[in-house]
């Protein structure tokens, strides 16, 4: 008896499930029909506009649809612009409903690759104050806030973005060294990525190597402010080729400089 | 149209196949809906791109209705209008903060599947009085545990006399696809250009008899000439250089010209020492004060 009840229960479950599926299908079919009709009307509208025909306002139903489409199209256009501003380096600012606080997103990018996004929440009630953030501690946020936040909000956002983008850029350069030039050995680096020491091999078989030290004095830049070249082979370090390489390392991002150096045969 | 009533079959296996069939139909419907929505989106984008201007009048009527509190507006229309005004507000703020005005923006989806989306963007706009046109492709890859966004194919077209010195920078930007760097540098560069233009204009208006701008206030050259010493001119070249990596640096140089007779009387060798003296002035007093003192020196 129990067994029979069991299978009957299972069957009922299955039937219910099938009913649900059917209902879902009916809903979607209706949605599809509606969308097909809307799209056809939209195509009609587009053709009329392309041909320069006047739009008939008397057909109120059609006109209401037209209004909706126009509004949707305007909204889409505006949303596209919004996306673009974020893509070209704008800040995503979201205000809370009563204007009591604002959340700013900072995107970072280096050479076309989008990197980390950092967020900062600011309390706007009496004076502008930072309430929450995920900015890495190596970035001097407090000092920047002290210097700029009250006086010029725009300047504060700009300088912080510069710091964050430069940090992301320096970090990315180290990653690219490892990815693109496997023979270079990173000896020392730090969190702020403003101090980098690496060793380049000169020739395949020998132990001949050159030690390069890069110091980034300006934290808003991705380029070093000082480059030191050292080697056991003093003549090599002083050679015109390596003087050129030193300049190269000062004037272009590390990975590009190293690639060029490898191309001309300075390193392997 | 009479909708089909579902038929329930008691046997297990039949229910299994029925479930499978229904699931397939569900999936098929979802796919068709996605395609239809994408088609709608592309019509909508195309309409606003080609007929945006003409339709603005119709939209304005709707906005006015909403503002007057006209009860005839349907709820979803009203919501759309609110979304529009909110987005417009955000865009005004973006323009203000970024210093960049976008006048045209075309987006085209080149490829879209579950994992990867490729979109092509074409932007036109200006920063102060410098116009640009930028085209790029954005690749967006979403994996289960990571996401990647990358620019491929960057093309930059700049318009204006100020841009003749930016060729090296623009080539580098296009090569490395550095979109952020481009706009960051563009803003800085146009700020310096504006500063220069305002300063030159200011001096021209303050000392109209002495200061000449042979190429207008948007150029690099300012000539100082005292009416009492014709033939002796001081030319200030105010160059704003942009390095390959986007470092913007104003560089000012002074060049003096004197007719031969004046040169003979130049016992203090002013002609040769002036440029260096000017550089020192710049370091101590800055641009405006240095130029002012130069002008005053000929205005005795």
Which of A66, A74, A163, A218 to probe the B interface (max B CBs under 10 A)? A74
- Domain ranges for chain A: 1-54, 61-167, 181-263
Scanning A87-146 for CB atoms below 8 A from B yields 87-91, 93, 107-114
How many angstroms separate the first and last alpha carbons of chain A?
82
**Segment (H or E) for B53:** helix B12-67
pLDDT tens figures, B133-158: 999 999 999 988 888 999 999 999 99
Q: Choose among A105, A108, A136, A139: nearest CA to A119.
A: A105
For residue A58, name the pLDDT band (cuts at 50, 70, 90). very low
For residue A60, name the pLDDT band (cuts at 50, 70, 90). very low
B132 forms beta bridges with B125, B158
Which CATH number is A61-167's, of 3.90.1860.10, 3.40.710.10, 3.40.190.80, 3.30.457.50? 3.30.457.50
Chain B residues within 8 A of A111 when measuring between CB atoms: 176-178
pLDDT score, position A181: 86
- State the smallest CA–CA distance between residue A222 and chain B in angstroms: 9
Chain A residues within 8 A of B100 when measuring between CB atoms: 85, 88
* CB-based contact A230:A237 (threshold 8 Å): yes
Question: CA A189, CA A92: separation in Å to the nearest integer?
Answer: 31
Q: Does A39 touch chain B (CB under 8 A)?
A: yes
Instruction: Taking residues B235-258, report their average pLDDT.
Output: 89
Q: Judge: B245–A222 Cβ closer than 8 Å, yes or no.
A: yes
* CB-based contact A81:B105 (threshold 8 Å): yes
Q: Is residue A59 over pLDDT 50?
A: no
Name the more confident of B97 and A52: B97
- State the smallest CA–CA distance between residue A202 and chain B in angstroms: 27
- State the smallest CA–CA distance between residue A3 and chain B in angstroms: 16
User: What is residue B265's three-state secondary structure?
Assistant: coil
Q: Judge: A89–B88 Cβ closer than 8 Å, yes or no.
A: no
* CB-based contact A244:A227 (threshold 8 Å): no
Whole-number Cα distances in Å, A167 to A54, A98, A250, B249: 56, 34, 17, 22
ipTM of this complex prediction, to 2 decimal places: 0.78
- Full-model pTM: 0.79
Q: Judge: B43–A31 Cβ closer than 8 Å, yes or no.
A: no
The whole-chain average pLDDT of chain B stands at: 84
Residue A182, judged by CB atoms within 10 A of its CB (0-12, 13-18, 19+), counts as exposed
Chain A residues within 8 A of B180 when measuring between CB atoms: 88-89, 107-110, 165
User: What is residue B287's three-state secondary structure?
Assistant: helix
Q: Judge: A90–B58 Cβ closer than 8 Å, yes or no.
A: no
- State the smallest CA–CA distance between residue B80 and chain A in angstroms: 7
Nearest CB neighbour to A93, from listed B93, B100, B179: B93
* CB-based contact B47:A49 (threshold 8 Å): yes
Question: CA B100, CA B237: separation in Å to the nearest integer?
Answer: 28
The whole-chain average pLDDT of chain A stands at: 85
Q: Judge: A109–B8 Cβ closer than 8 Å, yes or no.
A: no
Q: Judge: B183–A93 Cβ closer than 8 Å, yes or no.
A: no
- State the smallest CA–CA distance between residue A56 and chain B in angstroms: 12
B153 to chain A: nearest residue by CA? A112
């Amino acid at each position: 008896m129990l067994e029979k009840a069991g299978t009957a229960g299972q069957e009922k479950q299955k039937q219910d499930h099938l009913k649900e599926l059917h209902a879902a299908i009916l809903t979607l079919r209706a949605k599809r029909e509606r969308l097909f009709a809307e799209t056809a009307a939209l195509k009609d509208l587009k053709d009329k506009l392309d041909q320069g025909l006047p739009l008939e306002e008397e057909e109120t139903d059609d006109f209401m649809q037209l209004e909706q489409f126009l509004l949707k199209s305007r909204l889409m256009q505006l949303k596209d612009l919004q996306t673009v501003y974020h893509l070209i380096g704008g800040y995503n600012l979201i205000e809370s409903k009563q204007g009591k606080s604002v959340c700013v997103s900072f995107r970072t990018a280096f050479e076309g690759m989008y990197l980390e996004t950092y967020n900062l929440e600011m309390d706007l009630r009496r004076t502008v104050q930072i309430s929450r953030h995920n900015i890495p501690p190596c970035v001097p946020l407090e000092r920047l806030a002290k210097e700029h936040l009250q006086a010029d909000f725009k300047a504060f956002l700009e300088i912080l973005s510069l710091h964050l983008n430069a940090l992301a850029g320096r970090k990315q350069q180290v990653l690219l060294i490892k990815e693109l030039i496997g023979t270079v050995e990173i000896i020392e680096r730090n969190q702020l990525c403003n101090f980098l020491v690496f060793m380049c091999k000169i020739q395949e078989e020998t132990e001949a190597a050159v030690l390069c030290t890069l110091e980034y004095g300006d934290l808003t830049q991705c380029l070093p402010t000082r480059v030191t070249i050292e080697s056991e082979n003093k003549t090599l370090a002083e050679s015109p080729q390596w003087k050129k390489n030193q300049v190269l390392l000062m004037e272009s991002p590390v990975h590009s400089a190293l690639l060029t150096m490898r191309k001309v045969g300075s390193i392997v | 149209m009479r909708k089909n009533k579902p038929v329930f079959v008691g046997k297990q296996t039949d229910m299994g196949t029925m479930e499978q069939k229904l699931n397939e139909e569900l999936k098929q419907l979802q796919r068709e809906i996605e395609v239809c929505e994408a088609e709608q989106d592309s019509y909508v984008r195309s309409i606003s791109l080609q007929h945006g201007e003409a339709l603005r009048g119709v939209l304005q009527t709707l906005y006015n209705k909403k503002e007057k509190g006209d009860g005839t507006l349907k709820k979803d229309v009203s919501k759309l209008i609110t979304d529009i005004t909110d987005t417009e507000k955000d865009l005004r703020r973006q323009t203000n903060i970024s210093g960049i005005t976008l006048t045209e923006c075309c987006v085209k989806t080149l490829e879209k599947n579950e994992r990867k989306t490729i979109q092509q963007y074409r932007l036109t706009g200006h920063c102060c009085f410098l116009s640009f046109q930028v085209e790029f492709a954005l690749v967006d890859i979403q994996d289960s545990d990571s996401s990647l966004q990358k620019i491929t194919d960057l093309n930059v077209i700049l318009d204006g006399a100020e841009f003749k010195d930016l060729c090296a920078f623009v080539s580098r930007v296009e090569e490395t696809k550095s979109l952020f760097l481009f706009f960051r540098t563009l803003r800085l560069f146009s700020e310096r250009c504006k500063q220069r233009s305002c300063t030159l204009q200011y001096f021209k208006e303050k000392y109209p008899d002495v200061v000449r701008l042979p190429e207008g206030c948007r150029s690099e050259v300012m000539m100082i000439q005292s009416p009492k010493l014709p033939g002796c001119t001081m030319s200030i070249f105010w160059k704003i250089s942009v390095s390959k990596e986007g470092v913007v640096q104003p560089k000012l140089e002074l060049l003096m010209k004197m007719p031969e007779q004046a040169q003979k009387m130049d016992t203090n060798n002013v002609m040769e020492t002036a440029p260096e003296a000017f550089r020192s002035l710049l370091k101590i007093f800055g641009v405006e004060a240095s130029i002012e003192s130069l002008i005053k020196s000929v205005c005795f």
